[in-house]
Every structure is written in C-alpha cells, then in structure tokens.
A and B are shown apart, each in its own frame.
Chain A
Amino acid sequence: MNRLLLILSENKTINMLISKVTVNNFFCFLGENKFVFEKGLNIVSAPNSGGKSQLFNAFYWTFFDQIYIDNVNGKKEWKPSVDIIPIPDALSKDENYIGKVKTSVEIIIEAESPDSNDINEEIVEYTFTKTVVYEKNKKNELSVFNKPELIISFIDSGETKILSPALHADTLERIFPFSVRKFMWYQGETMDNLYDFNHPNTLKNAIKEISYYPIYDNMEKIVKSSNLSIAKKIQKELTSRKQLTTEQSKTLTDINTLNENIGKNEGKIKELDISIEDLDEQIANEEAKFRSYDKYKDIKNALENKEFSLESTNNLLQQQDAFLKEKLVEKWMLNGCDDIIKNSEHKLNIIQTEIQKYANSPNPVPMSLPGPEYVQRMLDDHRCYICERDVEEDTEPYEALKRRLDDFQKDASYKSLQDNFTELNKAKHNLLLVLPEINTEIKKAFTTRDEYIKKRNSLSKEIRKIEQDADNDNKNIKARGSSADQILSKLNTLKSTRNSKKANVTYYENLISQDKDKLAPLELKKSKYKIGSEDAKLVESIAGDYISLFVKTISILNKEAYLKFIKNLQEESNRLYSLYLGGNPQGKIVIDQGIRILDFENGELLTNLNTAELVAQKLAVANSFLSLSEKVKNKIYPIVADAPTSDFDPNNTINLTMNIGKSFQQMIILSKDYILLNNKDRDKLIKDADVVKYYELTNEKINPTGSDSRVNKKTFINVIK
C-alpha cells in the first residue's frame, strides 16, 4: 500500500517560480517598492543607474550575501555584502535624518519542500526576508543596530513554519544548487566570471547536477561489489557442500582474487583522476592570471586552437592506423600472391577433366531407383528384393549388386569433386579480381596516413614555437605581485605533477589489462564446470545470475548516461544558439573537453566571432543546461538576467527577447536596451513576445526643486503591465 502511495505521489515536476520581490530602503529604492513576477517573460526596463542592477543585487544580497558593485578602480566586481552598506543615499547622506534605518528585502518564491525525503517532493511557498537596521547619530555616523539577518519561512499544511538557521545553507543549496546557480543568475557584464567554460570543472560539476551519471555510477559500484561478494558466497556454499574439486576451488579463488585486484586498481585510477581534475583546475587558475595581458590571451587562444587541432589529428591518425591493420589481416597480406594462386589452375584443370570424364562415361547411374542403403541392405541380407530371390556371395548377381553400390559411391564422389571444384574455382576467380587492386589501396591509405603525420608534426612544431616565444618574453612582465616567470614555474610544476599522475594511471590501466588477460581463460574454464545439479540450484547461484545481468545492464546505462547527456546538451545548445541569432548562426557548438564553435562545413574552429555571437553562444549553453535540468531532473529553474543584451545591437536585442522568453518557464530580464523603444514599439514588443510583466524604472529627483545630487534621487517604478 505504501508503495502505491509512493508511486502516485511521484507525479510532480518541481517548478520554481519567483513571485514577488519587495525592496525596502535598499540602495536607490527609497521606502517600500514592490515587484510582482509571473510565469513567462518579465521585463524590468531601466537606464544605467536606474535601479536594475540594484534589483539584481537585491536577489543576490538576500540569497547569497554578495553585492555586485563598483570597486576602487571604477570597475564592478562581486563583494561580500558584509562590507557594503545598502542604505539609500537619501537617508545616509541626508544630514537632517537622524535615527534608525531599516533595510529589508523580501522575496517570495515557490520551490521544493525542505523535506529531503523523496516521497514529499511538493511545491511550497517560501518567504526569504533579509533585514538589517542601522542607526545614524547626530554626527551623521552610521552604526549597525541590528546585524543582517535572514529569515526563511515556508507554508506547510496551511501553517507558516520558520526554517532553523542551521538548515539555511542546505536549503539554499537544494533550491539553488551551486553549479546550477551560475546559470540561473546571469550577470551580463561578468559572463566570464560566472561560468567559464574553459574551466573543465565548470562543465563537469554542472553535469553532475543535471544528469543521471552519478546515480548510475553509484548503482554500478553497488552491483559490481555485489557480484564479487556473491561469487564468494557461492564458492563458500559449494565448498561446504563438498561439491567442488580442488582444481575448481582454486580456479574460483583465483578469479575472485583477480577481480578484487582489478577493482582496487580501478579505485586507484578513480582517485588519480580526481587529483588530475584538481590539478587541471589549479592549472586553469594559474593560466587565468595571464588573462590580463592581451598578448598572453592571444598566445593562450592560439595554443588552445593548435592543441585542439593536434588532438583531432592524433585521433584521425589512430583511426587510420586501426584501419590499415584491419585491412592487412583481412586481405592485404595476400598482396603479390597472384601468380602462385594462378598456378593452382593447373590442378583445378585436372579436377575439371576428371569431372568431365565421369560425366561423359557411359552407364550413368539412374539415381531415382533403389538407393545405396537399399542396395547395402540387399547385400547384407543376401537377397534381391527387386526380383525377389536369394543372392549368394561370390555369385554373379551378388557381384552385380556390389558394382551398383560402387556406382553410388562413385557418383557421390563425383558430386563432391564437382562441389569442391566449383568452390575452389570461385575462390580463385574472386582472389584474382581482388589482388591486383591491393597495391593501389595500400598506397592510397598510406598517403592519407602520411598527411596526418605531417600535419601532426607541423602542429607540434608550431606549438613549441609559440611556447618558446612566450618563454622569451615573459621575463619582462609582472602580474599582480608574482612575476610571470614565477607563475610559469608554478605552472610547470603543476603540469609535470599532472603528467606523472597520468603516467600512473596508464600503469594501473596496464595492470588491469594484464589481470583481465589472465581472467579470460579462467572464466572460460569456469563456464565449462557443471557445478551442482540443475534441480538443486543454489539460491546464491540464481542470485548470481540476476546480479550478473545487472552488472552488464547498469554498466551500459552508466556509459550511455554521460554520452547521452553531452549529446543532448549539444543539440539543445545549438537549437537555442540558432534561435537567439534569428536562425543565422555562424557555426555549430561542439562540446567535448570544453565548449567551442566549429564551422559547419569544414569543422574548423571559428575564431572571428563578433560579440553578439559569443554572447549568444554563452547564453545558449547556459540556458540549455537549465532546460535540460527540466527534462532530466524534473526541476524547472527560473532565470534572472541582468543586461543579457548589453553587447547586442537593437535588432538582435528584439530577436533575443522574442526567442529567449520561449525557452523558459519564467525569465526576468533587467535591461537598459528597451528604453530606446518608443511607447508604440514597446507595446508591440510586449504583445509579440508575450511579456507578462513590464516595469519601467527611472531615477528621478525626490524633490523636483531640490538639488541634482544622489541624496535627492530615488528610483520610481512605472508599471506598464
């Protein structure tokens, strides 16, 4: 009964929705300001300094304790909110205002229940309220009166429950998983920082969040270890029933030991892989330090492109080598044997002559009358059943019967000869057709191979030259406290550690391979043992049959889960990419080690993409992660985008707006690019793009006659829709 309830309740998709945001005395929002959002496309249009960035900050301040704000150099960066005072200037800088100021942001969202049990995956309304109170004294000094506090409450069975602070971090992680978070909160000016796809781990972590891969991985480990364990149980049981010979017992023990070794070494490889991933991340971080140098950026791009081409070439070369080998053992090794094979014609002619001789000889045996068995029977019984009389040995009729039997044998012999002749002749004919072509085939295949080798060598040379040039220049450049050659030296250490770990991986892979080689004949031996009778088959043995099925099936599912996910991600990214560019993408997005755009026809890396295309690419990939999570994990996330089209021209902005809204259940765009629209065009956009909420923000004077300073300014909200 409980199982049934479980199945019935598993019918929901978790559909996250941001419903309401109330901002109170937060930066440019003086007093209480309410925003209501709905399912679909919501637009907040505001010019620069109009308040859209602060609305974005309202989310980030409440959920993640961070603010995106100008730093000393005038550039914007993420800062922990504890360092920032969010009070509006109108209050903090107004000399006449004394007393307490309360800043708060309240966000109401619908998301999954905080109960971590799978059975109760309900949707629940959360209210996140963050509050901080400052006090201003007569000297205009601000001090914290009440520290910033976040209260998370939710409604359960009609009651409002408050979440204990100890559970805040976990709940936030459940609702906005860390690696998906990057894709949900789109900060148009810091795209690179939020999700850097050149970072191998960004891709991997996001994949772990949004695919079955970890679940199948877990299942595979369970069934594999179960397989080993059940084999031991079977052996133990059979030994105790004395149903195994010493040799069989030894074979089973050896098999178990080998499997265990293989398992251990596979574990070691997994650990090494994790270290290598970590090193990759460190290497990427170090390389990122060079990013501020245009020159190094160029060098890095050039290197990456070359290395990508090198890898592709190596793959092609490997494939070509495999092809060459295959062909050699299939037919090429007969190259040049034409003459000898032709010489067999002499013998074949002999056969043919013999066949013809027989065919032309008189008295061919009529095959429809008494067959050879009949004749043999007559000989054995010493009786002719045709004329119905006894036939004695050594008489003429007896000899006649024997001659008939001989005729049958001769005929069978002739038939066989004919079959053999036909087969051999056909084989010779086919071979003599195929053999002359071989030389040409070999040469052609080798030419292709040579081309790959040449390309590989020239790419290697180019890579070395780039690295050398970089090396020669670096001594003159300093980077943020550590000189470039310090970074390079650290990079070299990291890379060499990584290489030695990779070598270890190969070492363990070889050990595993050798063990598997030893395993195969033992398994063959084992399969020939008839252990136990059919009727009294051990329970453990039957269990082993089931477990063995699981090992094979789960292993396939595991492998496919990852590949399928990458394939889906790629397809979805390309679909969105084309959509965002109005159906005119320059190339196709390809995801393997990282994310690149390749030319449609020749598959080469596209490098001269303009900003709009790059933005569209990043948006497409980010959004496809989110839309895949909908399909795979049945969780739909909203997306909040600040200035997604800041690099687009007006046409592309409209295009993007029209199409992006369709990709999501809920999207909130904060942008300055719509303020250029006149009212008519704006209303048309609202209608055509199905915009469900449209707010216009302006930063105006509070006291129209007062000064133009920030103290006299606040954001006004105009609700268009």
Chain B
Amino acid sequence: MKTQNDSLREEFKNVLKLKEFQDEINLYKLNPSLIKNFFEILLERNNGSDDSSIIESGRLRFESFIINTLREQNH
C-alpha cells in the first residue's frame, strides 16, 4: 500500500532517469543518494500551501540542508 509520498518519490526517481538529467548528474558529479535526501526535505511538511512565508521557510530549510550536508562531506 503506497502513500502519497511514496508516489511522489517514485515520480521523482523516474524523472531523474531521463537522459538529460543522467548526463547532468555525470557532468557535475552529483551524488544520487544526496539528491534523494534533498528531495525528502522538499517533501517534509509540504501540504501544497501557496503562502509566501511557508515558501520562504521551505527555501531556507532546503538550502541550509544542502549547504550543511556538503560542508560536512568536505571534512
């Protein structure tokens, strides 16, 4: 039994399989498991709301998480 989030994850996985994105992942040496983790942040607390303060806090969470994760990797 899938949840809605499972369906979203599956769709994201499928779109990543497209050649143009595989090429981009290879070209910039992006880490697929990091990509997956970053997507989870987008799923968190996402109820489709349009409110600009929710978008802004979502952006902050997303961006900080990516930057912090990459910084940790470097050390």
Contacts and interface: CB of A to CB of B under 8 A. Distances in A.
Given A11-B3, A549-B24, A222 B35 contact: no
A547 B66 contact: yes
A543 B62 CA distance: 10
B49 A632 contact: no
Contacts of B55: 218, 221-222, 225
A11 to B, nearest CB: 5
Interface in B1-40: 1-8, 11-12, 15-16, 20-21, 24-25, 28, 30, 34-35, 38-39
Contacts of A633: 4
A377 interface: no
Contact of A546 (B1, B30, B54): B30
Contact of B50 (A118, A212, A218, A546): A218
Interface stretch (A58-66, A436-444, A551-559, A665-673): A551-559
B66 A634 contact: no
Given A225-B56, A226-B62, A552 B21 contact: yes
A553 B23 CA distance: 13
Contact of A10 (B3, B20, B42, B58): B3
A542 interface: yes
B31 to A, nearest CB: 9
Interface residues of A, number: 39
Contacts of A223: 42, 62
A59 B42 CA distance: 39
Interface string B50-75: 10001110110011001100110010
A556 B55 CA distance: 19
Contacts of B24: 549, 552
Given A208-B48, A218-B48, A552-B21, A542 B70 contact: yes
B70 to A, nearest CB: 5
Nearest to A221: B55
Interface in A662-688: none
A226 B4 contact: no
Contacts of A552: 20-21, 24
Interface in A26-81: none
B58 A222 contact: yes
Contact of B12 (A229, A539, A557): A557
B40 to A, nearest CB: 8
Nearest to A224: B59
A553 B30 contact: no
Nearest to A12: B1
Interface in A187-242: 208, 212-215, 217-219, 221-223, 225-226, 229-230
Contacts of A557: 11-12, 15
Contact of B2 (A539, A550, A561, A634): A634
Contacts of B30: 545-546, 549
Interface in A493-529: none
A632 B7 contact: yes
Interface in A595-650: 632-634
B66 A543 contact: yes
Nearest to B5: A10
A465 to B, nearest CB: 43
Nearest to A539: B70
Contact of A12 (B3, B20, B59, B63): B3
B48 to A, nearest CB: 3
Given A218-B50, A223-B62, A557-B15, A212 B7 contact: yes
B46 A215 contact: yes
Interface in A552-597: 552-554, 556-557, 561
A277 interface: no
A714 B11 CA distance: 56
A407 interface: no
A549 B7 CA distance: 20
B14 to A, nearest CB: 9
B66 to A, nearest CB: 5
A546 B68 CA distance: 13
Given A11-B3, A214-B50, A221-B55, 12 more contacts: A214-B48, A214-B49, A215-B47, A218-B46, A225-B59, A229-B59, A542-B28, A542-B70, A543-B63, A549-B35, A553-B15, A632-B7
13 contacts: A212-B4, A218-B48, A218-B50, A223-B42, A226-B63, A545-B30, A547-B63, A549-B28, A550-B42, A553-B21, A561-B11, A632-B4, A634-B2
Interface of B: 1-8, 11-12, 15-16, 20-21, 24-25, 28, 30, 34-35, 38-39, 42, 46-50, 54-56, 58-59, 62-63, 66-67, 70-71, 74
